[in-house]
Structure 1
């Protein structure tokens, strides 16, 4: 990425679930703007591979479901970079729904909430002292349109909705310490989780997305970079939709009306 403003020169950033997809794109974007980034992921091999391809990046195996691993990741970031200025909570779990809600297991429900929602809490709790110490700390949580509207996945959707609430309450709690907290709600993004489903992606782009395409990881990375930067210095407690117009425009309704 050439001719990019160096908004994050001297910054240290920790990104969870950063070995691939949105997390990887975000790491590349922040690094391109001057940050040193810690690729934190439960997949240690993939994290090391991604970090090796990003100048100045480090990797760390981190399961956000484990408090000790989260605290170790934060300590490692501070040790490597001298400060921690940005935390991006991107790690998540999304279990398949059972055909009937009464058949949904406690384990799948609890895993999605533990990783997606409580994991973000663990990371924020561990990182806040370091973030507050810089005077420019920012947390960006990666939510989902699933937290606002029904697209299936009960537990994942509940966790993402809870994450939006946590974003607001945490923003109020830490504002006096100079830390901002915001959230991004992506729509369908072309990540490895959608691999092999090109036909579905094409139908989604044509039938439900007003802008005529699904999102790319770089679309979310650009939004993260804005909210984490001083360009957003007077923004906190907000949730930004980056969804191609999905939730704002009902494409099915006018199609039916015009067909009458």
Structure 2
């Protein structure tokens, strides 16, 4: 993907992204770099991060790769320190790393290890990153931000109990952090994606096609849709926005197309 962005809202900006080795994280790293930011691409699988950073550099952007498991306090602190030392500070943290295990057929059969992993990576991982990054963000002169990737699962039943609970907790954490971080010049916001065409759906393209019918805009999302929202919230365009949860969901949360179809005259007879 060649970087052809003309707007450069992030010249001189320093960004650390977690879970940035593919999907939403990769698209967001590329978008920040295309608009002038220096990005630290982190992922628990270092080779993924290296691939993304190399592609950004090849396209003329500034990026470094760093292996980071967000369940490891020391690894998180090291990644943040590396970003601050390499780039001379930190302006934006993007919390994108997550874990999601599919639900068993009965909740009582849910594996405890899977439950705790989903919570630890998705919720506690973000909290670890915020704790490590805040001193650097607060030193950025009042223009810093944290953007976390949530999910529409926090708002409605779409399955995946542990993942959904963690994403709901992230929305609450966003609101409380927004208030406590405001005096330090750090804005805190969250994006809630709907169904996004990422590698997590590899081999299930037929399911994506069926899901698209439930979206008022008639399609599932692309990673670039979420990258656009994340970079907006991190940009000067959102300088007076903090503590919000922004659904980027093709209208899913405001609709019930399945119910509408069921109530259509003649539907029951077909």
Residue 209 in structure 1 maps to residue 215 in structure 2? yes
Match 2:137 to one of 109, 131, 137:
131
Do 2:178 and 2:187's aligned partners in 1 also have CA atoms closer than 8 Å? yes
Q: How does 1:141-180 map to 2 (within 5 A)?
A: 141-180=148-187
Question: C-alpha offsets along residues 59-89 of structure 1, whole Å, 9 cap, x if unaligned?
Answer: 1010000000000000000111111001000
Number of residue pairs aligned between Structure 1 and Structure 2:
259
Q: Distance in 2 between matches of 1:152 and 1:253?
A: 18
Q: 2:5, 2:188 → 1: CA distance? A: 28
Structure 1, 151-160 or 196-205: larger mean CA deviation: 196-205
Instruction: Give runs of ≥4 in structure 1 deviating > 6 Å.
Output: none
Task: Tell me if the contact between 2:5 and 2:35 (Cα under 8 Å) persists in the aligned partners.
Answer: no
* Residues 109-124 of structure 1: pairs in structure 2 closer than 5 A: 109-124=115-130
1: CA distance, partners of 2:189 / 2:229? 11
1:119-168 deviations in Å (ceiling 9; x for gaps):
00000000001001012110000000001110000000000000000000
Counterpart for residue 205 of structure 2: 198
Q: Are 1:246 and 2:252 an aligned pair?
A: yes
Give the match's secondary structure for 2:252.
Answer: coil
Alpha-carbon RMSD:
0.9
Mapped to 1, the partners of 2:45 and 2:265 lie a distance apart of 49
Q: Distance in 2 between matches of 1:47 and 1:88?
A: 15
Q: Deviations over 1:154-212 (max 9, x none)?
A: 00000000000000001111000000000000000000000111111111112x00000
Q: Measured at CA, do residues 3 and 114 of structure 1 come closer, stay the same or move farther in structure 2, by a change above 3 Å? A: closer
SS of residue in 2 equivalent to 1:88: strand
Whole-angstrom distance in 1 between the partners of 2:27 and 2:151: 17
Find 1:74's aligned residue among 80, 92, 104.
Answer: 80
TM-score (norm 2): 0.94
Residues in 2 aligned to 1:234 and 1:78: alpha-carbon distance in whole angstroms: 25
